[in-house]
Amino acid sequence: MFVLLSVGWRWLWLKLPALNRWIYPDLNGLWVAEIHWVRGSSSGVALATAQITQDFFRFGIDVDAPNSESNTIALVLKKDGETGKPLLHYIYEVREKHTHPGGDNVYRGAASLAFDAHSDRQLSGNYFTSRSTAGRFQFSRVG
Global pTM value? 0.84
For the stretch 80-131, pLDDT in tens is 889 888 999 999 999 999 877 777 899 999 999 999 978 889 999 999 999 9
DSSP track, 4-66: HHHHHHHHHHHH-TTHHHHT-----EEEEEEEEEEETTEEEEEEEEEEEEE-SS-EEEEEE-S
Strongest mean pLDDT among 11-20, 45-54, 96-105: 45-54
SS3 content of the chain, % helix, strand, coil (to 5): 15, 55, 30
Q: Please, which residues have CB within 8 angstroms of residue 35's CB and are 6 or more apart in sequence?
A: 45, 46, 47, 48, 65, 135, 136, 137
Tell me if residue 2 falls in helix, strand or coil.
helix
Which domains are assigned to the chain? 2-141 (2.40.128.120)
